[in-house]
Structure 1
Amino acid sequence: MKKKLLSKLLVCTLALQTAFASTVSMPANTKKASAALTGKSPFTNSTYTHNDTFSGYNIYHGIDVSKYNNNNGTIDWNKVKKAGVDFVIVRVGYRGYGKSGTLCTDPFYKTNIEGALAAGIKVGVYYFTEALTTSEAKEEAKFCIDKIKDYDITLPVAIDYEYPTDGSKPVGRMYNAKLSKSAATANVKAFCAAVKDAGYTPLVYANKSDFSSLIDGASIGKSYKVWLANYTTKTTYANKYEYWQYTSSGKVNGITGKVDCNFWYTKSKLDDTSSTPAPAATNTPKPTASPTVKPTAKPTAKPTVKPTVKPTAKPTAKATAKPTVKPTAKPSGTKMTAPKNFRAVSGTKAITLKWTKSSNAAGYQIFRKNFYDGSYKNVKIISNVNTTTYKDTKVTNGHEYYYKIRSINKTASDTTYSNYASLTASASKSRAGITQAKHKLLKKPSAQSDAFRTLPKNSIVEYLGKTVYKNNTTFIHVNYYIKGKKNSVYLPADAKLKYYKGGTAKQAAKLFNNLSSLTKPKVKIPKGSYLAVLKTQKAGKVKFYKVRYSDTKKSYVGYVNAKYVK
């Protein structure tokens, strides 16, 4: 790869084409490679030959990005997704080139990670190293991981090993230090070991020449995944690799200017990816010819100080599901339990949390997350174990919040914690929403989510609140009931709903067409069904609700005895 100042890590998903006597186009993203497989990249219009080692593998298209891509204009990640990009490797940061070696972040790493995740693109990350020692390499790994721990990173965390240039010659701390190949390799492995210890999958990026001259690519490939940069249509790299950066001049809809593009070879399906380290491929690619392409040039510009970024690989447990302050539970003589019956009473100006007193605890610790893709922060420590309520008034009407609570106990020499209890609550009253048009229910709060089902006009949902991302992307969180069973699903923010008081059928009830004839019900409402209460009316001394009830096919308006609705 022509090393651009801060080498970018990204993996481009690739629509495959099989080549026999001629090349035949195949659908992108899901096809498996076969021997002597060739494929045309949608981002370069060039045809590439994949090593026969990857016969039977899935080949995905990806890109890698840094601030240099953002400097050309805002990246439209939804367009990038539609263009065929399956994954992206985002630069989180770099170490400065000077003697002090300041750790820096890419100013757009958060924007890029959040935008890609919201668009449904798999994300990995990379860090541009200038480490001179194994200690510095570990420091870089920790710095990178700290920046990404709150994101759903499912692809690897990579170390980018290359010398930057000033336009004519190599520069930087590593170049000036004249590190030996063994010392440089040790630094790379130290970074990878730290990443693996943190629960992410390590990855090593370098170009074909540097994997031979600067670091030991063969040795690295025996323990860790390799991301090869080689700008050609048929690489002759003879050691193991899993990612191939084949160009720095790709064109991807949604991104202004040139983009680094990558192939990813894997036997896994895209949706099965995780940060758990995977075994290296058992076969080693065989060179098909003596090298005909010269090593790629070094980056022509220096990186600038950037904000922190997330790792490309996911921790074993999703960082978004855990508070930033992790429990340090230690064994104790008597088991301490998490607070039970953790629940919320919601209002437009406050959310009140309640729970049952815990055994063997001295108090409680409460965490809150403000955004769907945010991180948990400690909001309250309660030192009296008999206090079993907490009123949170720092809320916004309609906004959804995420809470965790754990029991704590302190001694003179130790502090122990229980497991967590958790819940989601909105600063709003639950109410019934009637759809004013046909709408698609989503399984997750994402425009790329699979549909749960399509609702016709006049369907009933239970409005819960607004699910909000840090970039203010918003979805409407609702419960949709089928035969009394509620399903937590989402609607787009612009979905048209008309709101009423809501109610649930306490038992099976009859829905009558009008109050003048209560002998022939028009339909029977199953127990647990959710209703929109339109108004209250009496028939003699008996109280009835005029309601709208919908099943999966039809919507009905009628009257039901109020005693059957809660």
Structure 2
Amino acid sequence: MKKRNILVAMMTALALCVTAVPASVYAQDATAETTVTQETENTEASNVNGADDPGAGRLAGHIAPEFFGEQSMARTTANYEHADKFKSGYTIQTGVDVSKWNGKIDWGRAKKAGVKFALVRMAYRGYGSAGSMGIDETGVTNLKNALAAGIPVGAYIFSQATTEAEAKAEADLLISQVKGYKITLPLVMDFEYYSDSGKNEGRLYDAKLSKSKATAICNAFCARVASKGYTPMVYANADMLKNKLNASDISKNYMIWLANYTSKTTYTGDYNFWQYSAAGAVDGISGRVDMNFRYIKKDTSDTTASGTLKTPALKASGKNFYTVKLSWSKVNGASGYKIQKYNSSKKAYETIKTISNGSTVSYNHTGLNAATTYKYRVRAYKKANGTTVYSSYTSAVKATTKKAVSGKIKGSNVNFRKGASISKAKIAQLKKGKNVTLTGKSGSWYKVKASINGKSKTGYILDDYVKITSRQAKVNATNVNVRKDPGTSYKKVTTLTKGTEISVIGTKGSWYKISFSVKGKKKTGYMLTSYVSIL
């Protein structure tokens, strides 16, 4: 997908001409997770020189024949023929996908030229046998500048994953790179072979994966992305979709981005985006650029009359120091549910998750701050005959996350960063055994308070390198004795009633060492483990 100055004789420059249409939001307020690799001085995203960047083949004009369709490419977007299923009931937008190979981009000019969306490469896995991952050094700049120009964005990683574990690691790396940005389009796995002189090669090609194995790899990436609140999508050419993947096993749950360079694709499977050319011409982007259509199904969205479905009953409670658990009653006939959280700074509700299964009646909202109250509402929706109808929203329900917990650093020289990403600046390196306070979580990163040179600092540390030394809990029985030491023969400190919140700060045999408050004063003691429920 990453090309530039591609010398393919059949390609001609394309001009953008499409009317403005409202963007459809795919994911909002999504929480992210960073790479699964060690976050000390090493990181799996170590391919900093890009020696085996699979996008380099495209730069040299090496595009495999299977990307091209039977019909020659049209001269303008008006001359492309869309599949019959998209000719009515859909809004069609035109956009681009870019990487470092496109050089510096003037996104303001691109928007004026008609670009309605952008999919930005953020990372890649090398095509060599080592399969080291690397960061696209222009990714963050392109995200920032496209968003500043008012262009909706998504992001992708050029994959060379040959195992499900590698696919998950790619998803984690991609998510870590987009954390903190308004991602309203999918996060994509670019599943294609590296091509040199028009011939496929590289680790993905050499793996000779079966269709079922390749499909499982793509689904593993998608499931990982979806679990973090983003919308996943798989990019592949028509030949890959038809002959190397069980495409229907992907498209039944996730989105497909078809690559087929032709004026009329003959691919009959499901797809949501169509990359129709690798030789577009767009003002503000030097050289040639990938061109895409995006198909947005028209529906009545939030303007649909409410009240045609029963309003669910919503409950919310703090699950731990970074999670609120939401649950609601099932609505007969519902296709799914829309969950919104109140944004106090904007004084408005924002959609945080759309559940696409009418039988799913719970959701854990993670990535929150400790001891903080949040407000939610939910409504049901039903899709039928190309339209969507909604129930009324529930009344607002509040929930407060649990208190911050204590922890210790369990790695040597662990990076303490300003944000939940390996791309964020280091505040300091923390030594093994250092005490910290955990005040929230974002994906695989704990939000942490630590004392640095006598001053309290807040930052982020990968959860693999923090051991929680206190856990939130509740007393689960009536009038339970707290003892000075672990044993019934020791002096009673006090008696706690059922439901009292406590912190577990240690274990000795069948006793928990706990901390708790009595009339505003913090005390410690021991309680039998059978009378304590860890939250």
Task: Report the TM-score range of the alignment, normalised by the length of the smaller protein.
Answer: 0.3 to 0.5
TM-score (norm 2): 0.48
Higher-Rg structure is 1
TM score, norm. by length of structure 1: 0.45
